[in-house]
A and B are shown apart, each in its own frame.
Chain A
Amino acid sequence: QKEVEQDPGPLSVPEGAIVSLNCTYSNSAFQYFMWYRQYSRKGPELLMYTYSSGNKEDGRFTAQVDKSSKYISLFIRDSQPSDSATYLCAMTGGSYIPTFGRGTSLIVHP
């Protein structure tokens, strides 16, 4: 079993939809949880960064962490075609070296 599991998709939604992206993990030592967006032929770009359990909102993006279930989510409201990309979850403990999921490919069609 991988430390971080993420469905690769692709996930295809119409413009304006609410998107839900999820990851599960097995390492209880993880304390920091991140979501990255990666466009084709580009490096990952950090979207959201949370510590421990709870919610964090930034514009159209909301990150949720449930440490008791070892489950994290990223919600995107009012999705746009420009949101089409691969979304990578990542997490780490004291080493500050992130362990990444394999990424979910999101397609938002007009």
Chain B
Amino acid sequence: DAGVTQSPTHLIKTRGQQVTLRCSPKSGHDTVSWYQQALGQGPQFIFQYYEEEERQRGNFPDRFSGHQFPNYSSELNVNALLLGDSALYLCASSSTGQGLDTQYFGPGTRLTVL
């Protein structure tokens, strides 16, 4: 079992551009959550997807959007990039109805905005 995988590993963009990050959940998991982790900070919840719909959302602007596919994989899109969007973006997968201890994080995508 490969666990949670994310692509790409690193990404460099310039202000104003758009970016798409991808996540494949752990086998058997149907729920995907996205987090933003700025340098020296803890992860901040962006949103969660289940059954291809956004189920919960954190305090992030509409520039952040997502999608979940029928195979449970997910994408995070960020439009009109700002310098402050530079961070490690983490994907976590879990199984609905199971405990918090079933949530697994991927290695993250490090986004640098110049």
Contact = CB atoms under 8 A, between A and B. Distances in A.
Tell me, yes or no, whether A binds B.
yes
Interface of A: 4, 6, 8, 32, 34, 41-46, 49, 88, 90, 92, 95-103
B12 interface: no
Contact of B100 (A8, A45, A49, A100): A49
Contacts of B110: 41
Contacts of B92: 43
Interface residues of B, number: 23
B48 interface: yes
B27 to A, nearest CB: 17
Dominant SS at the A interface? Answer: loop
Contacts of B90: 43-44
Interface of B: 4, 33, 40-45, 48, 56, 58, 90, 92, 99-101, 103-108, 110
A43 B108 contact: yes
Given A42-B107, A45-B105, A97 B33 contact: yes
Nearest to A4: B42
A8 B40 contact: yes
A102 B107 contact: no
19 contacts: A41-B108, A41-B110, A42-B108, A43-B92, A43-B105, A43-B108, A46-B101, A46-B104, A49-B101, A95-B56, A96-B100, A97-B33, A97-B58, A98-B100, A99-B45, A102-B40, A102-B41, A103-B40, A103-B41
Contacts of A6: 42
B3 to A, nearest CB: 9
A90 B37 CA distance: 14
B99 A49 contact: yes
Contact of A100 (B43, B48, B108): B43
A101 B100 contact: no
A43 B103 contact: no
B36 to A, nearest CB: 11
Given A32-B100, A49-B101, A92-B100, A101 B107 contact: no
Given A6-B42, A44-B90, A97-B48, 12 more contacts: A8-B40, A34-B100, A41-B107, A43-B107, A44-B43, A46-B103, A95-B56, A97-B33, A97-B45, A100-B43, A101-B42, A102-B42
